[in-house]
Structure 1
């Protein structure tokens, strides 16, 4: 990569993938494909992994195309068109802006961990085609043979990054196009499937699925056309006439077009489902024009007519002749088959729920509690216990207790029976106590009771009587809903989320609630209602962040060790050089990896100590040699004389204090050693 421009340049072939061009360029210019990726990479270094090489064929934010253009000598636009970016651009106006959704849509459709190819096509053209990596395409459109992902000589699997397009088995190492014979070639015939034709259309940069309608985005325009085709191209939108798309999905798509929701958006699978059900080709779909009448009828939102309430229908209610109610703009479904009420009213005195029947339009009590309360009263006065009433009416025991507490509070039971359901005393801070419960008016009665029992040790009868009080009921009605959808009902959502998180983690994608929501084709706003899912995503993010820090710290540790090995042993280490080699800012390393800072400081200090020791030893040797020469020349031995020998003029200045001490020490050692020798020679001569 030093020259930053290849001398030998490849010409992309028809249908070739972006990663194939990189592999051919690397092989032709004698370098590794990872070197090209590393030179043009613009994301975090944690993405530079061999097993993530497949991302080059769809992750258009990994590469600096200006650098790559200069390196390969190929303009940027043709290079982008060699990837699945062309597919994303048919669903989204700006794939860069909707990057998460675009990349996740492609990930689910392609084979990422192995390279698929037709051995006969590969032998002729020596390139990997982009369309071969689609999961649903398993045969060659030209020869009709199955696509393989192994070497025909040794049966070794072929990785997505095949260096020099050779088999990775060291005992084989043959070029993949250097095949022997492929079995049953004579019986093979071209077989272009409908699925192949669709993908060929999607990866063609010159094709378009739809135009933009009425200031809608491309994605909304595509959803609009899908609904129009699914409705057999009728001129007026009617939801019940849409076929091939589920009712729930249809509602989500319509809400998405109208700008109310983003739960369901256009994707490849939805497109293929509509094409299959409508029995039309993708080219025919692209040529269809949606009439203005259909667009206006779909975008037109019917205004809901809210009728004023009538009077309460219960005989014991003080509000029976008044029309004062609490309005709740919430949808509720009751009965079997379920009847949907778009809104309802709550009586502020007896707290029964009322609305207009959607079919008969009669003012009615929607929970059938009046009839149920009268039945429970009759059975209780007949001598039945709570358990017997529950079994007789086949209702929950907690609900039976709630109904009896309600009857007792509103004095609808006879005195002997009412005594067993009326609490002896009512706390003056009853409202404050109930506000401590994490429930609302829609919460299951048993859940409320269990919380109250844990906090206040109330029995079920006492709790049911307290719960029937008007101030408590009113408090729950006005309280914002905290009810989470039952885990059992949404177990599939939870499991799907956990699998999605695992998949995204394996792909080294940065986790977030919005990214997980996009991967599971839901909106982030919808996910925020699931506390457990939010907690799972948060824990996964923390785990991913921790693993990333550990991995990065290991990488920085290894880089520092490499720096210490290649650094000149006779030069001091500047910390600025260290951080430049690590390619990290000092403050970043200090904040993220304080232990690494301590380790590097210890290593650098030890290196400097050893360097100073070597320098001192060298100077001591020079000083000794200087002392010997001065004595040999019969010159007066002094600190100044030795310093001049070393080339130092002002030895007594503060800057040479350390060297001066060394000279003094060596002169003292020399004089001491000479005196010892003289004393030894005198003793020897006296003995003689």
Structure 2
């Protein structure tokens, strides 16, 4: 090992084109007889923080956040431009709205933790490319082969944090460049997409430093493409062309109505560009029609006075007048979007609301319908389903249960383990809703064989109609002041000596904890909870103090162990210390003083004898 403090590294190696910064560091450390962790600690930015193997994954993201550029240049001789080309820095500077590059979220879930590599590239340059770290890149365009995902000698997948030399397996020390690789399958329907992705990312990684596209302009360009380059904004057209991305998020970004700027995921951007045959070079130099921007800010020409209708394609009341009914909610705010005039369709259960003068679906069934009708979900993994539908696993399970109840998908398409619908359970579900029992309580009933069995009953048409009817008969939440009801509920719990919690208060009131939380009454419950705890501690102190005094009188001539005393008090020392540390210390002190007095008296008795 070479110990260097103020000296430059004796061996300097050139930076290879397209190489990742972490690869350059590995080769530099190896050529200088050092461990890469030792070398990284020489150039770290924060002297109080020791870099470890887990930080290797951070090197290529935004190195300025963890390394001193002056130290980096001094020790290794690499230029700042090469450092930027070996990391995602240039890309982050192009799309990030924040001055803190490490906070950029547009690459979330896009950077691999497992090493992928091209054996031909490793054999030629002994360098790992930055491109290989991206989940969208599965092929090497230069050598026309797939990237390998494991060592062919030991068959182990390689973690980036364990890698020390780009061309050597860290587990068996065998060369990774020996295997010939797997040639591209010219018949694969996905090949064109993979090659396009590799080229697009390569261009983005080498983007000019002077280019800056803020989130609102990025969203505007995407919407312009989804609008098929028409100057008149058309929400329906955009929704039809949108693939697994939230139109509300895009609209808010484009119109600048977000309370806080948010990044647009670059992987989703490239997917949209590929599907609409727009090359990345064209996108980067795209100019948007001023007429489209004006139309975008105005929104659709839909008027609130016009009668909204259900637009679910499978619904019997599709686009029929009077198909939607008003529910009990006048207004609310979800994900920084102000919603009002909540509506629902009694035939299919889809829920709607107005946002910025446009009617939107509050549920996610219509969004999922177009994906389900064109794909067989049973052949996809959960990860693939999430990418396809733009929904998380929990929502996809609910979607599948819903469409199974609508007889749009069959049991073979992924819900064979949900069981069968029991009409008796459906009737019990409806009766419970009529009695005002919350859905969250019904979900906990022991009669459900599993969660999936609950879902197929939850989305049964009769149950969905009962839920809509319940919402229709509810007092408007926007006008309802919950303060007095919460105070009464807390008082009731205190009188019954039951713990005051958000869940218990919500259960007494017959509403969900989320409703209380969103109306800002959580602090009121917390205050009542603290007051109850203070009262309980006072009572505990009186009770424990009295029991201790009585027991010490009974054992006036005997020493008392801590275990024995707390058994009498019917409370453990740890519990007492947690609720009242001062009382726990006081009891222990009294016990020790008692034992010392007993010991002294015994010694005096022996002395007199």
Task: Give the TM-score of the pair, scaled to structure 2.
Answer: 0.49
- Structure of higher RCO (CA pairs closer than 8 Å, 6+ residues apart): 2
Considering only CA atoms, is the larger Rg found in Structure 1 or Structure 2? Answer: 1
